[in-house]
Every structure is written in C-alpha cells, then in structure tokens.
Amino acid sequence: MTNFWRSLFGLNGAAGDRTVVGTPEGIEVKDVHYIKDSKKRLTALQELHNRYSATPHADKIEAVYHKTKEIHSYLIDRKRVHELELFHLQHTDHFLNTFTVIMDAHQQHYAKAAALKRAAARADGVIRKVASVTFRKDRKEVKAAQQANRETSERAFADLNEAKLEVPGLTVPQISINTYSKIVYLRENISGGLVTNEIGFTSSPEEKETFIDYVCERFGIDSVAYLGNAMVFIPTHNTSPPAEMIPVIHWNGSPYALILEDCRLFPVRTYRKSR
C-alpha cells in the first residue's frame, strides 16, 4: 500500500530525477542551486561594472559580463549545469576576486587621502580662527586701534558729506532655497578622471556628505552644512549677468552662496520655497 501511494504521487523515483517548477525544462533538483549561484555571479559582475564605471576598465568588465551571460544561457539550455559551475570556478570567481581587491585597495587609498585633506583643512581652519580671535577690548592696544579707526572714519564721512556723496551700504540679499532642482558638479576620481555628481535639497544624506567633503577640500573650510540650491544673479564685470542655480551652505554661523568655479562665497539670507 505504501508503495502504491508513493507511486501515485511520484515519490518512488530517485530524488535526483525530480524537476522544479520555474526552471528550464529537464533541470534536476540537485542542479538548481548551481543555476542560482550562476545568476548571483552575473549580478556580481554587474555590480563590479558599476564600481568601475568611471575607469578605463569599464568596457572590459562589461564585455566579460555579456560573454559570461551568453555562456550561462548556452550551457543551461543544453542542461550542462555542472560545466557551468566548473566554468565559474575556473574563470568568473578569479576575475571577480581580482578586480574587487584592486578596487577595494584604490578606494581605501582614496578614502585615506581624502581624510588627510579634510584633517589638514580643519587644522588650517583652527589656525585661522586662533589668528583672528578677538582681543580683549580693555587692552590699551585695542582701544588705541579702535580710536584710530573711528577718527579715520569720521574724517572720511565728513569729506563725503562735503562732496555730497552717499555712503554705500553693504547689503545681504535674501534668496529662496529651491527644494526640487539639482545641479551638477565634477569631482576627480582615483584614476584622475572627472566624475559627474548631482546635489540638491532632496539628495540622500550620503550625497550631501560627499558634497560637503568636496566643498571643505576645495574651499579649505570645515564645519559646513549644505542647505540647498538657489537662483541668483552672480556679480560679474558683465552688466547683465545671467541668473544661475548655485549651492548654498551654512558655515561659521551664516549662510553663503557658493561659486564653485572660482571658489567665491557670498553671504545671504534664506527662506525656503517649495514647488
């Protein structure tokens, strides 16, 4: 009776003769994990290509991925699963391991170099802060300097009044933080090429951290927070400069608009405007 029921439900055959729904026709159960492992290797090759996308090796890795995918399909269609596994063991795994180790080493070196640059920028910032610290107002040298400056200002103001000229006032423009548009900036990668990055109000924390590191390194400042982007007319020698979208940061207690091309900062006042 037991044999009858096992025969009825197909349980009398060897386990290796069973097939699994969703796999190519004729693939045995014991070979399914080889196919899954092969697909994982294909995914790993895609991820490796993404890591190398901005390097001279990108085309080579992409070619290896497509060739491996062709071999994967060819051998599975012919139910030669064990040959597929052997191919991966002899070629794919070695390729993945080699290029992963190379990229990991380069990224570690780049990360250490970036950390040293940030540390140097912070140290330089500390030195500048110490050098520009406000002296005690009750010191006689401070009082003498302040008195001399007041007298100079009074004489200059009197001359302007006599000439009927207005004293120009320094103003801080109010800008609107754009909460949906992103701008593009370029960073140099480990191989010396230029990598395109985007930054905007909706960027991820990782993208904002990358941009902050870039700003600190390029401007030689630290303790920076990214606020967003804003449309402004940039002061130039041109009488009618075009409006541009530029990034805005918070640094040293105040917001600043940044001109990335020539490393200029402009103090601003902000309010946010949503779409």
pLDDT tens for each residue of 100-122: 888 878 777 766 666 666 666 66
Q: What is the pLDDT of residue 272?
A: 53
Q: What is the pLDDT of residue 218?
A: 87
Residues 163 and 69 in one domain: no
Q: What is the pLDDT of residue 199?
A: 93
The string of DSSP codes covering 77-119 is: HTT-HHHHHHHIIIIIHHHHHHHHHHHHHHHHHHHHHHHHHHH
Residues 163 and 203 in one domain: no
Domain final position from 143, 169, 195 = 169
Identify whether 239 is part of a domain: yes
Residues 9 and 90 in one domain: yes
Residues 145 and 217 in one domain: no
Band the pLDDT of 27: cuts 50, 70, 90. Answer: low
Residues 151 and 217 in one domain: no
Residues 182 and 266 in one domain: yes
Band the pLDDT of 132: cuts 50, 70, 90. Answer: very low
Residues 154 and 214 in one domain: no
Give 46 or 136, the one with higher predicted confidence: 46
Identify whether 128 is part of a domain: no
| Percent of the chain surpassing pLDDT 90 | 23
Residues 158 and 183 in one domain: no
Please tell me the total count of domains within the chain: 3
pLDDT tens for each residue of 196-207: 889 999 999 999
User: Residue 83, class by beta-carbon neighbours within 10 Å (0-12 exposed, 13-18 middle, 19+ buried)?
Assistant: middle
Residues 196 and 162 in one domain: no
| Percent of the chain surpassing pLDDT 70 | 74
What pairing do the DSSP bridges indicate for beta strands 243-251 and 254-259? antiparallel
Residues 30 and 81 in one domain: yes
Identify whether 208 is part of a domain: yes
Distance CA 141, CA 236 (A): 39
The overall average pLDDT reported for the chain is 78
pLDDT tens for each residue of 140-176: 777 777 787 778 877 777 777 777 777 677 788 899 9
Mean pLDDT, rounded, for 212-225: 89
Identify whether 58 is part of a domain: yes
CB neighbourhood size of 213 (10 A) = 17
Q: What is the pLDDT of residue 65?
A: 92
At 41, phi and psi to the nearest 5? -65, -35
Residues 199 and 220 in one domain: yes
Identify whether 199 is part of a domain: yes
- Residue indicated by tokens 């060739």: 67
Residues 186 and 139 in one domain: no
User: Residue 68, class by beta-carbon neighbours within 10 Å (0-12 exposed, 13-18 middle, 19+ buried)?
Assistant: buried
Identify whether 164 is part of a domain: yes
Identify whether 218 is part of a domain: yes
Domain hosting 188: range is 174-273
Identify whether 146 is part of a domain: yes
Band the pLDDT of 224: cuts 50, 70, 90. Answer: very high
Domain final position from 147, 169, 191 = 169
Instruction: Please answer whether residues 34 and 85 qualify as being in contact, where contact means their C-beta atoms are separated by less than 8 angstroms.
Output: yes
